[in-house]
């Protein structure tokens, strides 16, 4: 499997590079972005933070809006930002053209239902295929952490909770904490996973956390002015699960912040330092 470079820009002494490749897991061509900090020139493999974006986003949103690259350069962190769903003319989309399902809304699950299952295997893509590709072609180590926003925060949490041995730490901004019990999650899961709701818990962070026996450093930020907080995000479900499981969750409610990238930009440096401490321990 090869990488095609699409663009490269120097920033904070490092390089922001966009790549395209053919994904076997997703059965389509995919694009992703990588920030390579200036420390790559020293020749030592660097740790990686995987960032999973939210609904309607692609690989470009975080890199352009979050203001993360200066701190990543200082900390010597590689950041990898994949797309949020499979793409292409052959990939099915929401038949009604809605923004919260289909293209741009893969929910980081492995779909089991037709026609979605052929392409929508986003969990296997971000957990297995993409890291293997990154570690083969780029100057990185096998030390990984994961973070994300909204739908991507849900993705980061389930990746870390399902396979904690693959990561050193996990964080999230405004994650969907209980997708089995919110409109976004119920819509996506009923299509991708089918009508049998008992199977949905395999992809619900609040369910997975309550069952967790291996713990990672976890930081979650929510904004108390987020319009989606009560109906869609449900942070209390994750907090309750952490208490039941004795999970070392640091959950913060930030006054006055909403769901936007202004919120992410305000606290991203803290999240990067949190991950750098775990990755370099």
Which residues are identified as catalytic?
Answer: 150, 226, 259
Q: At CB < 8 A and 24+ separation, what contacts does 121-124 make?
A: 121/25, 121/26, 122/26, 122/84, 122/85, 122/86, 122/155, 123/155, 123/158, 123/159, 123/162, 123/203, 124/25
Nearest Cα neighbor of 222 from 260, 177, 174 is 174
Contact assessment for residue 46 and residue 77, using Cβ atoms and an 8 Å cutoff: yes
Nearest Cα neighbor of 84 from 113, 50, 115 is 50
């Amino acid at each position: 499997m090869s990488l095609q470079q699409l663009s490269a820009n120097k920033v904070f002494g490092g390089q922001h590079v966009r790549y395209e490749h053919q994904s076997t897991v997703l059965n389509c061509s995919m694009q992703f972005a990588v920030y390579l900090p200036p420390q790559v020139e020293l020749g030592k493999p660097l740790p990686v933070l995987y960032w999973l974006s939210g609904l309607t986003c692609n690989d470009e949103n975080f890199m352009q809006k979050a203001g993360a690259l200066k701190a990543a350069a200082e900390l010597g962190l590689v950041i990898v930002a994949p797309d949020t769903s499979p793409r292409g003319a052959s990939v099915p989309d929401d038949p009604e053209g809605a923004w919260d399902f289909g293209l741009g809304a893969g929910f980081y699950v492995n779909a089991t239902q037709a026609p979605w299952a052929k392409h929508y295997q986003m969990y296997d893509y971000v957990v297995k295929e993409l890291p293997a590709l990154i570690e083969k072609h780029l100057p990185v180590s096998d030390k990984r952490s994961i973070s994300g926003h909204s739908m991507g925060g849900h993705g980061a949490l389930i990746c870390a909770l399902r396979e904690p041995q693959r990561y050193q730490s996990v964080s999230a901004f405004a994650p969907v904490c209980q997708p089995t019990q919110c409109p976004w999650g119920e819509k996506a899961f009923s299509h991708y996973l089918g009508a049998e709701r008992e199977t949905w818990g395999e992809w619900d962070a609040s369910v997975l956390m309550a069952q967790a026996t291996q713990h990672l450093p976890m930081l979650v930020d929510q904004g108390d002015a987020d319009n989606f907080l009560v109906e869609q995000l449900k942070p209390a479900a994750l907090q309750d699960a952490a208490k039941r499981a004795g999970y070392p969750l640091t959950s913060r409610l930030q006054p006055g912040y909403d769901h936007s990238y202004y919120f992410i930009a305000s606290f991203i440096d803290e999240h990067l330092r949190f991950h750098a401490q775990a990755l370099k321990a």
